[in-house]
Structure 1
Amino acid sequence: MEYVSPRDLADTLRQTPTADARRPLIIDVRDDDFAGGHIRGAVNLPQRNFEEDDDVDKLVETFKDKPVVVFHCMMSQVRGPFCARRFASRLDVVLKNADHKPEVKVLHGGFQQFARMYGNDPDLVEDMHTR
């Protein structure tokens, strides 16, 4: 599994406007703690969405045109890597003959590390103080 550092992800997000098709898709697989702060523009899809092949296949179809899909949880030690592996394995099945497949990455250190570095930057993190 390929990892991306918080710094590299932050640089990419700063250089790629939200509406830009080249912008990576950020999938936050945390549960309720998503509401307490998250990477700006992240999609919240908790781990339960990656349990069944049919559910993952639908996500692959939905996000197949993205250049990069970055997964994370709080620390990217269990849930984030698990969901990234599930997505990548179904990507190879669903898009077996496709010309393009998104790159699948995991945010090193998860949201905890990203927020530690960029939690005060409203261009990168939102809802940090909402509980």
Structure 2
Amino acid sequence: MSFNSGKGNTPAGSSGASVADDEPNEYSILNLDLDKFTSEEEVSRLFQMWKKEMKREYQTQEEESQKFEVFKSNLKYIKEKNAKRESPNDCKLGLNQFSDMSYEEFSKTYLHETDAPPSWGAVTHVIRR
């Protein structure tokens, strides 16, 4: 679950090399060890780096504060889920362009109810092996 926002983005403190679309690299915050961000100050720095890489800007300080709280909650969830991985081949969660969205906000924005597909007719036979 890692996405990048576009070419030429670099997090604070990087060498300025470009970041390819949808591919985290050594200059992307998407490759960081998220477990090392434990203090409020470190998480705040991570949020600032994430905002820069995702080109995210908020209209007010209040909105930014709310998004930071959601970001912290999502970061905690990511760390908890990744800590339960039983092998390096298990799914690993990470930051992406939705990291400042609550589940409710994501659902409202991206998940919509759709009509069921038209019936394909009755099944006339079953293949058994």
Normalized against structure 1, the TM-score is what?
0.27
Query: For the pair shown, which has the larger CA radius of gyration, 1 or 2?
Result: 2
Which is richer in strand?
1
